[in-house]
Structure 1
């Protein structure tokens, strides 16, 4: 498949890295440094130029393209790039937009602007935040198989009862598979004798009920979904987060410093208490009992302010802090200094677009630990090495770094065991290191 990516920022580069091995990838960007870096980093053709201009698209041979992905940081540029591509090709077009204004128009019009698929960075980030809020102790949560399977990442705190216990000792949940243990950037495919250590990151795959029960075992002091949620900041992603929480029947509080923006948000959020104040004013936070909140979500206009608000919330006693981090490299730093979960909106966008970019039977994808691993949902067809065979037998034909975490059949959850026979049409959710993805895709 020939794929043209317009924009070589974090989203575009992540997509290029995921597609370059099996596809003919062309990346267009106006920044010559980005273009040069891509040429040396990946097996792609990189072109310096304006990807919304037809001459540049023609230089990229857009007439032969199967897919055009517009992922710059400018919404209008992305829409125009897709429209321009449609005038001279039959390529499937994907446009990334930041907010939801263009997305709402596109959806209401049944598809418009020459865009076949549109994805909103802010909306996806808000959905990710809402999933994390709904699962105690989780750093990231993704849904698979129409919501019947969850993948969750957990950081194991020193006080957890699982520390120094083996996987076999902790394996009390039939509908949960510990797919991987990430320890100091080493990916470990756990065996029964693998011992958990404080600070480990665990990747668990299972039914929603099983994952919730496992989360309770992992951190007994954090029980139940966060009900009292405070959103700090009045950005679009903060607004979308509050909207989702209202739809769940919650009544969040939102703090916005600008009185005019606070008034606008109050009009749009009928079930949210909007407070106009500085979220770093400790006296205000104490007066409004912010320290009693279950969760504080910080989504301010700079990573520095977001980190400050998150750490202050933690200091005054908030149970969990979630930060929206614009700079991807900062996410691990935020978590290292005490933020419970750091979410990068561009990562969520890259995952969604990669899902549409994958050929074959891949239904969904989640990127793990800065693209060192992935969780994939595969619909099994007759060509798959899994079809008609017990998992124990087909495992010999898969890389060692692959763990089958869950199976659904006709909407029913099936516990994957060595003697479980996989059938054509099953949805299999599996974990694989990125270096093994190509081999997995070719076999399943």
Structure 2
């Protein structure tokens, strides 16, 4: 498939890097340095030019392109790119936007602006934050099969109640699968005798109920439903959307915003949220407003450094769990190392969502783990799938190492995968796949 990606920033580069092994990818950007960098980093053709120009799109091969992805940092540019692509030919178009107003306008009319799919970075980031907050202790969360199945990644440290246990000892839930242990130098597909070590990243897949119960065993931290206090620092669009989603879950969060005009507007738009006008980097304010009593502090300011500072201040006064928005992907590991519990990178989660649309049609959903060392895919079983009609034990014998079937749903009902389970057409299967064998697995599933 020929794919044109307009914008070679962090989102576009992530998308191109995820696709260059399987597709013919052309990347367009106005910045010469970015063009040179992506040419060096990825196996793509890179062009310096304006992606809104019909002539540049023609140079990129728009007439034979199957997909155009507009991923610059400017919403309007991305929409114009999609519209321009449609005037030359009829490729499938995906636009990345930040403004939720544009998303709402697009949703009212099918294929508005010449955009087939619109991915809203701020809304999708807020949804990701709420998913992680809902699962205490989780570093990454993915929802599959309309919420029936959940994937979660947990960091295991020396204080974890399961460190030193074997998988068979730690996995005490009927509808939960220990899919993998991600270690510094390898991805381990565990057997029952595999010992869970300090520093492991544990990936589990199972029913939403079992995943929550397991999270509760790992940590005493409360879920959103149990939390008595959630504080959001920053009235950015991500902060606003996070508060709105928490209100929809029945919570009454507090939100701190420094700008008086923005604070008043948020107070009007969020009837279930207490909006406080102040500078949240002021530790005296945090103490005075009893932010230390919060179960969770979410840092959603428009500065990575301030989000780190807020997280560290919250930790210092006694907050048990902090999440922060981190715009630059290279900061994620660093910030989590120095004290932020979970760093959420909007560009990375957006790239993941856009990449999902490039997969085979039966791939309903995906989550990328640990800088794309592994993926969790939701596959609908079709007539040509290796899984169809065979027992799971027989089908797995035909697949390479590095694959685990974590969950199955049939007609919306959860089925715990067993060796004797026989899959049917239309079943949804959630599969953990080591990236090293992804191409071979995707071809037969």
TM score, norm. by length of structure 1: 0.97
Distance 1:149 1:85 in 2: 37
Q: CA deviation at 1:194?
A: 1.2
User: In structure 2, what is the equivalent of residue 427 of structure 1?
Assistant: 428
Map of 1:202-213 to 2, 5 A cutoff?
202-213=202-213
Distance 2:36 2:440 in 1: 29
Kept after mapping to 1: 8 A contact 2:133/2:223: no
Structure 1 residues 424 and 349, CA, compared in 2 at 3 Å: closer, same or farther? Answer: same
| Cα deviation code 1:320-361 (max 9, x no counterpart) | 100111011111112112221111111111111111111231
Structure 1 residues 227 and 95, CA, compared in 2 at 3 Å: closer, same or farther? Answer: farther
Distance 2:129 2:69 in 1: 25
| Cα deviation code 1:253-294 (max 9, x no counterpart) | 001111121111111111111111111212211111100111
**Aligned-partner SS, 1:231:** strand
Q: CA RMSD in A?
A: 1.2
Kept after mapping to 1: 8 A contact 2:51/2:81: yes
Distance 2:436 2:200 in 1: 21
Distance 2:216 2:29 in 1: 46
Mind listing any 5+ residue stretches in structure 2 that lack a counterpart? none
Distance 2:24 2:281 in 1: 49
Mind listing any 5+ residue stretches in structure 1 that lack a counterpart? none
User: In structure 1, what is the equivalent of residue 18 of structure 2?
Assistant: 18
Map of 1:125-164 to 2, 5 A cutoff?
125-164=125-164
User: In structure 1, what is the equivalent of residue 99 of structure 2?
Assistant: 99
Map of 1:271-310 to 2, 5 A cutoff?
271-310=272-311
Which stretch has the larger CA shift, 319-328 or 108-117? 108-117
TM score, norm. by length of structure 2: 0.97
User: In structure 2, what is the equivalent of residue 441 of structure 1?
Assistant: 442
Q: CA deviation at 1:54?
A: 1.1
Matched, 1:248 2:249: yes
Kept after mapping to 1: 8 A contact 2:295/2:319: yes
Distance 1:424 1:185 in 2: 37
Map of 1:360-375 to 2, 5 A cutoff?
360-375=361-376
Kept after mapping to 1: 8 A contact 2:391/2:420: yes
Kept after mapping to 1: 8 A contact 2:222/2:295: no
Kept after mapping to 1: 8 A contact 2:126/2:238: yes
**Aligned-partner SS, 2:355:** helix
| Cα deviation code 1:177-222 (max 9, x no counterpart) | 1111112252211111111122321111110001011111112x22
Which stretch has the larger CA shift, 116-125 or 102-111? 102-111
Map of 1:57-72 to 2, 5 A cutoff?
57-72=57-72
User: In structure 2, what is the equivalent of residue 269 of structure 1?
Assistant: 270
Map of 1:250-399 to 2, 5 A cutoff?
250-399=251-400
User: In structure 1, what is the equivalent of residue 405 of structure 2?
Assistant: 404
Distance 1:265 1:271 in 2: 11
Distance 1:238 1:339 in 2: 17
Map of 1:173-192 to 2, 5 A cutoff?
173-192=173-192
Distance 1:413 1:110 in 2: 33
Distance 2:305 2:185 in 1: 25
Distance 1:94 1:406 in 2: 30
| Cα deviation code 1:338-396 (max 9, x no counterpart) | 22111111111111111111123111111100111111001111211111111221112
**Aligned-partner SS, 1:357:** coil
Distance 2:228 2:441 in 1: 40
Kept after mapping to 1: 8 A contact 2:132/2:140: yes
Distance 1:154 1:194 in 2: 17
| Cα deviation code 1:388-427 (max 9, x no counterpart) | 1112211122120111111111111010122222222111
| Cα deviation code 1:300-329 (max 9, x no counterpart) | 121111000001111111121001110111
Distance 1:239 1:153 in 2: 26
Q: CA deviation at 1:223?
A: 3.8
Structure 1 residues 97 and 16, CA, compared in 2 at 3 Å: closer, same or farther? Answer: same
Distance 1:281 1:101 in 2: 32
Q: CA deviation at 1:133?
A: 1.1
Q: CA deviation at 1:110?
A: 3.4
